[in-house]
Structures are given as structure tokens and as C-alpha cells.
Structure 1
Amino acid sequence: MADNATVEQGLEHEAATLAGATETHESVEHHAEPLLLGFAPPAAVVSTSMIVLLLIALWKGVPKAIGRGLDSRIADIKAQLEEAKVLRAEAEALRKEYADKIANAEKDAAAMVEHARHEASAIVAKAEADTADVIARRERMAQDKIGAAELAAVSELRAQAAAASAAAAQGLIRANHGAEADTVLVNQAIAGI
């Protein structure tokens, strides 16, 4: 209808232009255009073609085909939604399973850490005991070495004292006794036998 009004306005405008032109040029004639079902020929052809096209589409069942296509697409979407629900349920189950595994792993890790601390304290205590034993053993060895060194020093001092005494006695005997004194001593010793 709006198209019809536009066409009529266009015709009125054309008529006014022609009327103005007729006044100026009296030789121009005005022809009335034929109408088809109340429409100007180009609009009538387009409208008629559209109506024929719609009637053919209805006759061939295009709306039913469109409906079937939409119904199949809806069915596909529903199937995809169901599959998505199943996948989501599986994902939730996996998430819960892994959350449980993580919790168990954390508990195991805490137990391992506690066990490692206990073993470390036992190793430290054993190392301290072993260190104390080694220190005591080395102290005994050092004391034994010191005692041996003292005995060796005392023995060496005795040997040096004995050698010094023998050398001193020899020097005294040489100084105090000559060959005559030795003869007298030897004779006394023989007489005493």
C-alpha cells in the first residue's frame, strides 16, 4: 500500500510537471498509464510474481521442508546438549577423583616428611653417639701414645744416666787408680777367694 501511495505521488508530481510543461509547451501530450489490479505496471509485475512465487512454495511444501530442517537441527542440538551433560558428569567425576588423589597425596607427603624427620633425628643421635665413641677412642690412643712416649723418655734418660754414670765412674777410676792401685785391688780380690 505504501508502494501504491508512492506511485500515486510520483504520478501526481509527473502530472504537475507535465501540466507546467503544457502551459509552457502546448505541444506535449500526457498519456495515462495502464493499471494492473490497482498497481502501476512495474509494481504489479513484482507483486504478482511474488504472490506466484509464494503459491508455488506452498504447493511444493517449502514451509514443511523448512520445518523438517529446523526440527532436525533442534534434534541435533538436543543430542549435543545431552552429550554435553554426559561429558560434564564425567568431568565432574574425574575432578572429584583427582581431588581425592591430591588429598591422599598430600597426606602421604606429610607422612613421608614426618618419617624423614624421625629418621633424620635417629641418624643425628647415632652420629653423635658414634662421634663420642670416636673421640673417647682417640683420647685413649693419645693417652697411650703419651704414656709410651713417657716410658721411652724415662728409659732413654735411664740409659743416658747409666752411660753418664759409667763414663763418670770410668773417669774417676782412671783418675784415682793407676796401675799400682789396680794390682793391689786384684791381689785383694784374689786373696778373698
Structure 2
Amino acid sequence: MISVAYAADAAHHAVPFYADAAFWVGVAFFLVAGLAFKPVIRALGAGLDARAAKIKARLDEAARLREEAQEMLATYQRKQRDAMKEAEEIIAHAKAEAERLAQQAAKDLDASLKRREAQAMDRIAQAEAAALREVQNVAVEVAISAARDVLASSISADQAAKLVDKAIAELPQKLH
């Protein structure tokens, strides 16, 4: 058996490689595989290119959306700053207005107090004048009463009649 295997092995080696069927089966396999692999590679490449294009489109869309979001954020931040500035201006205006109103109220209060003081002083002056007139009237009445009593006790009826006639005669001169 050894001799048969050796003879077959020797025969096998005696044939050139291109005359062997296994060689041509291998070449045919690689040609078929190569020809079949080329469209598969193209399909895979096209699929990968399409997927890459979709991913690129999504990335571009995401970048566009990100830019829009940043623009909107900047717009809202600007609006917020403007609103804060406006609020600060309103507060400053309100403080200034409150200060002005407080000053005006202080002036009005001061003027009102001065008016009331002047009115009180006028009332006091009127009361003093009234009291003075009343004291003068009382003093005149007391003086007249005292004079009447003194004259009544010291003057006779003839002298009193002469004094009354004299006073009546002088009356027109004193009225003009």
C-alpha cells in the first residue's frame, strides 16, 4: 500500500500546476468570488454613502437647529436685558417721582403749617384786640361811673345843668 500511495504521489507531482483541476477550481472560485464581490462591495459602499449622507444631513440639520437655538437664546437674553434695563428705569423714575412727591408734600405741609400759624396769630391778635377793647370799655364804664359818682357828689344841680348845656353846644364841633 505504501507503494501505491507513493506512485500516486509521484504522479501527482509530475503534472504541472496549471494542468491540475484543483488549480483551475481555485482560480474559478476566486474569479466568481471577485466578480460577485464587486457588486456587493458597490452596494455596501452605496449603502454606506447613503447612510453617511443621511448622517451628514442630520448633522447639518442639528447644526442649523443649534444656530437657531443660539440666535433665539441671544434674542431672549437681549430682551431680558432690555426688560431689566426698562425695569431699572421704571424703578429709578418711581424713586425720583416719590422723592419729588415727598419734597412737594414737605413744602405743602410747611406752607400749611405757616398758614395755620398765621391764622392762629391772627386769631390771637383778634382776641387780644377784643380783650383790649373790652378792658377799655370796662375802664371807660368804670371811669364814667366813677366820674358820675364824683360829679354827683361834688357838683350841684345848677352846675350839672350848665355842663350838660355846654357839652351839647360843643357836640356839633366834635362830630366834624
Q: TM (normalized to structure 1)?
A: 0.49
Q: State the Cα distance separating 1:167 from its structure 2 match.
A: 2.9
Q: 2:76 aligns with which of 91, 102, 113?
A: 102
Query: Which sections of structure 1, spanning at least 5 residues, go unmatched?
Result: 1-69
Task: Give the number of the structure with larger relative contact order, counting CA–CA contacts within 8 Å between residues 6 or more apart.
Answer: 1
| Structure 1 moving runs of 4+ over 2 Å | 73-87, 173-183, 188-193
Structure 2 stretches of 5 or more lacking a match? 1-43, 170-176
Give the CA deviation at 1:162.
2.5
CA change 1:160–1:85 in 2 (3 A) is same
Q: Deviations over 1:124-178 (max 9, x none)?
A: 3312321232122112202211221122111211221133123313432443343
Whole-angstrom CA distance in 1 between matches of 2:159 and 2:142: 22
Counterpart for residue 161 of structure 1: 135
1:187 and 2:158 are equivalent in the alignment:
no
Is the partner of 1:146 in helix, strand or coil?
Answer: helix
> SS of the residue aligned with 1:103?
helix
Structure in which a larger fraction of residues adopt helix: 2
The C-alpha deviation readout for 1:45-103, integer Å capped at 9, x for no partner, is xxxxxxxxxxxxxxxxxxxxxxxxx99x9898667645533432332122111121122
1:107 positional shift: 2.2
For residues 47-86 of structure 1, the aligned pairs below 5 Å read 81=55, 84-86=58-60
Amino acid corresponding to residue 184 of structure 1 in structure 2: Q
Length, aligned pairs only: 128
CA distance in 2, matches of 1:158, 1:167: 14
Instruction: Return the offset for 1:108.
Output: 0.9
Sort the Cα spacing of 1:135 and 1:191 in 2 relative to 1 into closer, same or farther, 3 A.
closer
Q: Which amino acid aligns with 1:144?
A: A
Percent identical residues = 11
1:182–1:120 CA distance, 2 compared to 1 (3 A): farther
User: What is residue 113 of structure 2 aligned with on the other side?
Assistant: 139
Give 2:129's aligned amino acid: S
- Cα distance in 2 for partners of 1:129, 1:191 equals 70
Q: Distance in 1 between matches of 2:145 and 2:61?
A: 120
1:51 maps to which residue? none
Superposition CA RMSD, Å: 3.8
SS at match of 1:178: helix
Distance 1:170 1:146 in 2: 35
